[in-house]
Structure 1
Amino acid sequence: MTNPSVKFDLHTHNEMCGHAIGTIEDYVRSAIEKGLQIIGISDHTPYFHSDQDQPFPRITMAKSGFAQYIEEVLRLKEVYADQIEVLLGIESDFFPESSEVYKQALKEQPFDYVIGSVHFVDNISIFKKGRWDGLTNAQKVKTKENYYSLIEHSARSGLFQILGHIDAMKGYYPEFSSIQVAAIDHTLRVIGEQGVVIEINTSGKTKDSGGWYPADDILERALFHNVGVTFGSDAHHPNRVGDEFEEVQKRLKEIGFKEMNYFINKEKQSIVI
């Protein structure tokens, strides 16, 4: 299905994850104020593989809050149905050794889409400042290759409709982008073959790297490999909902993309750009 002139944001967080500001309803209201037709709520899944309800440092929602999260999004979907389409999404970490646990936890729920994001490489957060200190060039290459290997496996997993911020490892280490590896093209080819969509995530502007995830050169290669694209602000504050949507759409058109995607009941929808 193709719809023209739809403004949307599929990647938003809220206070349930422990590191964002505002209620789910705050994000819905902000989307309405900003003229969006579709708002996706996609807070961090609980750490389903952990024995603890909400392990330190509490950067994901508690397992005990999972059902409440779903109920609240579905409630708001009804409350605001005449003003905006509210989609039930979620952002899940990808831990290969625990993928079956996550699959079981997510499959029974009525998600419109699941964003798969790699936040840990070699058991270290991709955003950990100083993780690159003292590494040799060969070690940096290996780290980047490991990152894209995980993203490739997440694309193959069948868990996700969208892959989140696929070069976010540059966030606090801008030099990441200049580490040369063949793995990016290989990973993009797999993503294209699997029919998974990547997001243009505008939260890079809040990190040292600036700009968006991913960088233009990756988007150009994504187009070559027939990878679909979507938009997400990754808002952790209601005022960032829809941030730079028009600019992203314009840049995608310049690169050569003809459409952007979103998902309803895990079915891909398209808008012409």
Structure 2
Amino acid sequence: MKFDLHTHHERCGHAVGKIQDYIESAIEKEFTVIGIADHTPYFSSKEDQLFPGIAMAKSQYTEYIREVLQLKEYYKEKIDVLLGIESDFFPDHIETYRQHFDPYPFDYIIGSVHYVDEINIFKKGRWDGLTEEQQVQTKENYYQLIKHSAKSGLFQILGHIDAMKGFYPPFSSIQTDVVQKTLKVIGEVGIAIEVNTSGKTKDVGGWYPSDDILEMACHYGVNVTFGSDAHHPSRIGDDFELVEQYLKNIGFKEWVYFKNKEKIKVPL
């Protein structure tokens, strides 16, 4: 069984193609399940579209949901289309986001930390000039947010949990036990982390999360799922079989996806 739960489309402003293009690509690649999970609007902003090149406008939100549900029905004989969304995590606005999620029939919500100390994690140069102590603190602040997001009750999946390494590969070698503590919490609350293969498109050139994090995740009984984080239809399912085999090799027996926010286990 093949599934990909993390895909985007043109509404976010930095992806190519319509939702239907991603579904058609998944069908062509013989996937059983395709999840659509574009970036949420910035619900806490007064502006309709705070960052047009990053996330959809608030005025596009309900039309996005409507389109995915229509395509779910249209393609139901060919593939299971799931309604998802990728949400930023802002601790001060948890209830605002919850109020926007609760009225709609999401199959799952991916929670991703994209801002640490009010700076985008992918901002090149954000590490320049930091002392070793400041680097450790930045990494710990990142994982404190991820831990908080895991306990918030908003999400079924946590997105790319070491994506700070994307344009700063030394991130993985910053020494702190915060990653281990975070994984322990994620395992306890029972949500999933994704193996996100889009890291190969960044400077780091590999999947999120790193091998050692996946090994720790296995130790702590953390559920894993798969997401290509495709911003182009051609990347649907990128490295799916390689991820599947790697997870088997390090000791995972199953991975999961979500439908109606219920966890569905798939043997590896």
> Normalization by structure 1: what TM-score?
0.97
| Aligned match for 1:223, one of 194, 203, 218 | 218
Q: Does 1:117 align with 2:122?
A: no
Give how far 1:58 is off. 3.1
Segments ≥4 residues shifted beyond 3 Å: none
Contact 2:3 2:226 in 1 (8 A): yes
Aligned residue for 1:265? Answer: 260
| Aligned match for 2:127, one of 102, 126, 132 | 132
Aligned to 1:229, what secondary structure does the other structure show? strand
| Aligned match for 1:82, one of 68, 77, 80 | 77
Cα deviations across residues 98-118 of structure 1 (Å, max 9, x unaligned)?
Answer: 111001111111000000000
Aligned residue for 1:92? Answer: 87
* Residue identity in the other structure for 1:15: E
* Residue identity in the other structure for 1:68: E
Aligned residue for 2:99? Answer: 104
CA distance in 2, matches of 1:57, 1:32: 30
Cα deviations across residues 182-232 of structure 1 (Å, max 9, x unaligned)?
Answer: 100100000000001000000000000011000110000001111000000
Aligned residue for 1:53? Answer: 48
CA distance in 2, matches of 1:55, 1:129: 21
| Aligned match for 2:14, one of 10, 19, 25 | 19
For residues 1-273 of structure 1, the aligned pairs below 5 Å read 6-273=1-268
CA distance in 2, matches of 1:16, 1:77: 18
Give how far 1:57 is off. 4.8
CA distance in 2, matches of 1:90, 1:57: 17
CA distance in 2, matches of 1:148, 1:198: 13
Give how far 1:144 is off. 0.1
CA distance in 1, matches of 2:60, 2:203: 32
State, as a whole percentage, how many aligned pairs show the same letter: 67
Cα deviations across residues 145-197 of structure 1 (Å, max 9, x unaligned)?
Answer: 00000000000000000000000000000000000111001000000000010
CA distance in 1, matches of 2:53, 2:228: 21
* Residue identity in the other structure for 2:219: F
Aligned to 2:204, what secondary structure does the other structure show? coil
Aligned residue for 1:3? Answer: none
> Normalization by structure 2: what TM-score?
0.99
Give how far 1:134 is off. 0.2
Structure 1: segments with no counterpart, 5+ residues: 1-5
* Residue identity in the other structure for 1:124: I
Distance 1:57 1:72, change over 3 A: closer
Contact 2:12 2:52 in 1 (8 A): no
Structure 2: segments with no counterpart, 5+ residues: none
CA distance in 1, matches of 2:109, 2:10: 19
Aligned to 1:262, what secondary structure does the other structure show? strand
